[in-house]
Amino acid sequence: MSERRFVAEGPQAVREALTVRGCVVDVLATYDASDRHRDLTEAARAAGADWHLVDEAALTILTDTVTPQGLVAVCNFVDTDLDDLLSTRPGPPGLVAMCASVRDPGNAGTVIRCADAVGAQAVILAGTSVDPYNGKAVRASVGSLFHLPIAFRVTVPESVDAVRRTGLGVLAADAAGSLTLDDALDSGLLSRPTAWMFGNEAWGMAAEDSALADHVVRVPIYGRAESLNLATAAAVCLYASARAQRRRSSSADPRSQSDRRRLS
């Protein structure tokens, strides 16, 4: 970590890392994995990364999984300064996922994956959130770590101030919220540029963090389940916003309105 490098394990993570210029320094592969993933040897060569053949025992030292996949990439850090993260795009972001002291690496990696899947523009790991380069977090992101800008080692207030400066509203997801996700959707709130804030797995959103949000929103439970886990709730909230924003964008496009008239 002192050299600002981390390990990405598995063919999918290595494949995605190789698409980021200057990210991969070395790829280490067992003989069997190298034979099975010949396309990656070519990709590594094109990316200027060195490919090393190693035995399974040597590779095990670099991984923390019970059954290593035989392929790892040594990568340079890919995180971005918070202000740069929110200003490098052609326009302001429309959807951002913010983790406020999310400590479980599997949850953090899954939030990154969900944010990528819905087309969010950035992820912020704020407060005491886990390091995105934790091995479990990298694996849980399934390559999405390399797809969108990520900032970490920032406070929650700093993050909220930064997203507000770009014109985003801030919604905190919490089971104690006074507003339901359905209400937020029906009122048009979710169609606006939004930063969703997700709290800690064990004790939820800290009161001082939820107080920074414009609204505290809860996912309604229609069945008998007590609650949703953090990663599931994040997926539901992010997809709801993405759908609302896409529908608003579509309705504002004269071409899409013309298409709907032809279909009616």
Tens of pLDDT along 211-244? 999 999 999 999 999 989 999 999 999 999 999 9
CA 172 to centroid of chain Cα atoms: 17
Question: What is the chain's mean pLDDT, rounded?
Answer: 90
**What band does 264 get if pLDDT is binned at 50, 70 and 90?**
very low
Q: Which two tokens stand for residue 132?
A: 């995105």
Q: Please give the single-letter amino acid code of residue 159.
A: S
Sign of CA dihedral 74, 80, 85, 89: negative
pLDDT of residue 259: 47
Asked if residue 260 has pLDDT above 50, the reply is no
| Tally of residues, the chain | 264
Tens of pLDDT along 41-68? 999 999 999 999 998 888 888 777 767 7
Torsion, CA 133, CA 139, CA 141, CA 144, rounded to 10: 80
Residues linked to residue 172 through DSSP beta bridges, in sequence order: 197, 216
pLDDT of residue 91: 66
d(CA 122, CA 170): 14
Residue 208: Cβ-neighbour burial (10 angstroms; 0-12, 13-18, 19+): exposed
Q: Please give the single-letter amino acid code of residue 153.
A: R
**What band does 69 get if pLDDT is binned at 50, 70 and 90?**
confident
pLDDT of residue 203: 85
* Domains of the chain and any CATH numbers: 5-76 (3.30.1330.30), 82-251 (3.40.1280.10)
CA distances 159 to 152, 213, 217, Å, are 9, 11, 19
pLDDT higher at 264 or 225: 225
**What band does 261 get if pLDDT is binned at 50, 70 and 90?**
very low
Quick one: average pLDDT of 76-103? 87
